[in-house]
Amino acid sequence: MGTNRKRTKAIRSRKTKPNKANLKAKLRRIHKNSEILKEFAADEEK
């Protein structure tokens, strides 16, 4: 058996790998939403 630190590191690295794609998708959604909100704000000013 490995040390607690090595086991913890392995578990955390396994958890972050699948989460990385989700984080990227979330960022894309946030940017898209902010662009839409900027367009609405520009339309309201007119």
Binned average pLDDT, 10 residues per bin, the chain of 46 residues:
88 80 91 94 81
How far apart are the C-alpha atoms of 36 and 40, rounded to whole Å? 6
Q: Which pLDDT score, from 0 to 100, does residue 2 have?
A: 79
How far apart are the C-alpha atoms of 12 and 4, rounded to whole Å? 12
Q: Which pLDDT score, from 0 to 100, does residue 39 have?
A: 92
